[in-house]
Amino acid sequence: MAEHTRAFLITGARGNLGVELMKVFPGALGVGRAEFDITDRDSVFRFIELTKPGTVIHLAALTDVPKCEHEKELAWRTNVVGTENIVEALSSSAPDACFVYISTACVFRGDRGNYGENDIPDPVNFYGLTKLIGEFAAKRMKNHLVIRTNFVPRDPWKHDRAFTDRYGTYLFADDVARGTKEVVEKNLTGIVV
């Protein structure tokens, strides 16, 4: 990925990972849903035309897995169409921008551990499917990086119990933010798991 002096944009900057990314990229323009509705194509195009970002870290998404199952149209509109809107706007106004797409390990089946960059995705839920299709949109950018990760905030575990039949590695959001900064600064492209 090329160095850019233009704006550094983080979508979804009000969520758990977004807040941590704003700490490691303090000069970035961080936007949440209230300021930047990724599902509003015209608004996205106007915003990208105005800011012409050099780097975009895109993590705005509907991540609630059960909600994605029950509200598939909303999940599709947010995770797929929203991502396509940003990619198309960048292609029009800032085609050389670096596009970093925060995906999920849910693109994999989850019936074993230690997935790598070359493993074949096989999502078992609608959330994972929408994020996988979002990856394909991200790959339309010349300078793209897809980061497949799971993360939780550094808060006490809020559930009384959890599943035992699925493999996963949940990282803390602040660690993912530092790791994201590291791979962005190394100008990596492609997929990172």
Question: Active-site residues: which are they?
Answer: 127
Q: Which of 169, 172, 40, 12 is nearest to 100 (CA)?
A: 12
Alpha helices (H) in 12-165, listed in sequence order: 16-24, 41-51, 65-70, 72-75, 82-93, 126-138
Q: Which of 128, 118, 137 is nearest to 168 (CA)?
A: 128
- DSSP bridge pairs for 10: 30, 57
Measured distance CA(174)–CA(176) in Å, rounded? 5
First-to-last CA distance in the chain?
A: 18
